[in-house]
Amino acid sequence: MLVDREGLWFRVLAARYGVEGGRLREGGLRGSVWWREIARIREGDGETGGSWFGEHVLRRVGDGSDTFSWTDPWLDGTSLRERFGRLFELAETKSRTVAEMFSLGWGQMGRRGSG
């Protein structure tokens, strides 16, 4: 439902709550109780403590269009931001998806020495 950024539900929720850093915002006081709970689970602030959602759900990168390269935990359950903090600080492209980074040149990195 929220993966397809062109889909109706994503557009409705984006219009209602806004988008920040490529993700739907919590909505503050405008957010429904249901939506705030979903946002807390997503951020790991639910009643169970820790990131319940992240610990119990497997993320598949697929074509990379719905996975943020730096902030999503797509590499062994850890984000590149956490694993390579200093490199993240230096990066100019902090809110790009894996697909966008691939099109910017990540896809060529493995091929440079093989020519």
Six-digit token pair at 19? Answer: 């988008």
Q: Summarize the confidence of residues 17-30 as an average pLDDT.
A: 77
Q: What is the mean pLDDT of the chain?
A: 75
32 CB-near residues (< 8 Å, 6+ apart): none
Q: Higher-confidence residue: 57 or 7?
A: 7
pLDDT at 111 over 60: no
What is the pTM assigned to this prediction? Answer: 0.46
Confidence at residue 84, expressed as pLDDT on a 0 to 100 scale: 92
How many contiguous H segments (helices) and E segments (strands) does the chain have? 7, 2
- Range of weakest confidence among 40-44, 73-77, 89-93, 103-107: 40-44
Task: State how far the Cα of 94 lies from the Cα of 89, in Å rounded to an integer.
Answer: 9
Q: Is the pLDDT of residue 11 over 70?
A: yes
Give the residue numbers spanning the domain of 100. 62-108
Please indicate, yes or no, if residue 115 is contained in any of the structural domains.
no
Task: Look at residue 20 and tell me whether its pLDDT is greater than 60.
Answer: yes
Residue 48 covered by a domain: no
pLDDT band at 85 (very low <50, low <70, confident <90, very high): very high
pLDDT for position 81: 92
Domain assignment present for residue 70? The answer is yes
Total number of domains constituting the chain:
1
- Identify whether 54 is part of a domain: no
| Residue with tokens 């959602």, as numbered in its chain | 53
**Alpha-carbon Rg for the chain in angstroms:** 16
DSSP per-residue codes, 40-67: HHHHT-STT-S-HHHHH-----TTSTTS
Structure-model confidence comparison of residues 107 and 64, the more confident one: 64
Reduce the DSSP state of residue 105 to 3 states and report it: helix
